[in-house]
C-alpha cells in the first residue's frame, strides 16, 4: 500500500511538472502566434545587426589607435637608424653655440637648454621662491678690493641671463642652493607627466648624493641661509650626454 502510494505520489509530482512544462510551452507558443508573420525573424536579424554595430564601435577605434601607434614607432625607429640617436638637452659646447641653436638659459639647471628640457612652470615657481620681494632671489657678483679683500655686490635677478651669455660667474646663497636641489628633484618626478626631458648632469645619482650631503651639512652646521657661498660658473658648460 505504501509503495503504491509512493508511486502514485511520484507520478503525480512528475505529471505536475510535465503539466507545468506543457503550460509554459503552450504559453510560449501562444505568444509567438500573437506576433505577425516574419516578426520573429526580423527581431533576430535586428539583434544581430545591433550586436555587429556595437562590436564595430569598440574594435574600430582600437584598430585605428594601434595603426597610429605602430606608424609612430616605425617612424621613430627609421629616424634613429638614419640619423643616429640625438642626445637629450644638448646645446653644444659653448654659450655662443647654445644661443645659435635656439637654447635658453635655465635658471634652475643653471645652463643652456632646449625648450624640450625646460619645465617653464617649475622654473617660474623657482624664480619666485626666494626671500626677496615677490619671491625674487638675491644674486651677487664678486669684487676683489686691495684693502677690504673680497666683497660681493648685489645684482638684479634679471641680469643673470646677461652674465650667462657673457660667461661671467655669479653667486647665490645657501638657501638658493638648497632649493635648487629640491626643485631639481621635483623636475625629475614631473618628467613622468610634463613631457620634459631632464638635463643629464642633474639626472644622475651623483647629483642626488651631492644635494643630500649638502642639505644634511647645512642642517647639522645650523648655518645662515643667506650666506653667499654658491658659485654659478658662467663660462663652464655642462657637456654631459
For the beta carbon of residue 196, count every other beta carbon within 10 angstroms.
Answer: 20
Helical H runs in 111-159? 120-127
Nearest alpha carbon to residue 226 among 138, 135, 110: 138
Q: DSSP letter at 35?
A: S
What mean pLDDT value characterizes the chain? 78
How confident is the model over 70-86, as pLDDT tens digits?
665 554 445 444 444 44
Extents of the domains making up the chain = 95-232
Q: Label residue 65 by pLDDT band (50, 70, 90).
A: low
pLDDT tier for residue 144 given thresholds of 50, 70 and 90: confident
Exposure letters 145-178 (e unless 16+ CB within 10 A, then b): eeeeeeeeeebebeebeebbeeebebbbbbbbbb
Residue-wise pLDDT for 202-235, tens only, equals: 999 999 999 999 999 999 999 899 999 999 988 7
Distances (CA, A) of 118 to 213, 214, 232: 26, 24, 18
Burial-class residue 233 by CB neighbours within 10 Å (0-12, 13-18, 19+).
middle
**Considering the entire predicted model, what is its pTM?**
0.63
pLDDT at 140: 97
Q: pLDDT for 90-118, tens place per residue?
A: 999 888 999 999 999 999 999 999 999 99
- State the DSSP H helix or E strand holding residue 211, giving kind and residue range, or none if neither: helix 205-221
pLDDT band at 20; cut points 50, 70, 90: very low
pLDDT band at 181 (very low <50, low <70, confident <90, very high): very high
Amino acid at each position: 500500500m505504501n509503495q503504491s502510494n509512493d508511486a502514485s505520489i511520484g507520478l503525480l509530482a512528475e505529471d505536475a511538472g510535465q503539466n507545468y512544462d506543457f503550460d509554459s510551452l503552450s504559453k510560449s507558443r501562444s505568444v509567438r502566434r500573437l506576433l505577425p508573420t516574419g516578426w520573429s525573424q526580423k527581431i533576430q536579424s535586428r539583434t544581430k545587426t545591433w550586436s555587429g554595430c556595437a562590436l564595430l564601435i569598440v574594435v574600430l577605434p582600437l584598430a585605428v589607435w594601434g595603426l597610429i601607434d605602430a606608424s609612430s614607432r616605425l617612424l621613430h625607429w627609421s629616424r634613429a637608424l638614419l640619423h643616429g640617436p640625438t642626445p637629450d638637452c644638448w646645446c653644444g659646447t659653448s654659450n655662443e653655440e647654445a644661443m645659435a641653436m635656439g637654447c635658453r638659459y635655465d635658471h634652475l639647471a643653471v645652463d643652456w637648454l632646449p625648450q624640450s628640457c625646460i619645465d617653464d612652470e617649475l622654473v617660474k615657481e623657482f624664480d619666485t621662491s626666494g626671500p626677496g620681494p615677490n619671491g625674487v632671489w638675491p644674486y651677487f657678483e664678486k669684487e676683489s678690493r686691495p684693502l677690504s679683500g673680497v666683497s660681493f655686490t648685489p645684482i638684479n635677478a634679471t641680469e643673470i641671463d646677461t652674465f650667462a651669455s657673457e660667461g661671467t660667474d655669479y653667486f647665490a646663497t645657501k638657501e638658493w642652493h638648497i632649493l635648487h636641489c629640491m626643485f631639481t628633484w621635483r623636475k625629475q618626478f614631473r618628467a613622468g607627466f610634463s613631457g620634459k626631458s631632464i638635463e643629464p648632469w642633474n639626472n644622475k645619482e651623483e647629483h642626488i648624493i651631492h644635494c643630500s650631503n649638502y642639505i644634511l651639512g647645512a642642517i647639522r652646521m645650523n648655518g645662515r641661509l643667506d650666506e653667499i657661498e654658491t658659485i654659478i660658473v658662467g663660462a663652464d658648460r655642462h657637456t654631459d650626454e
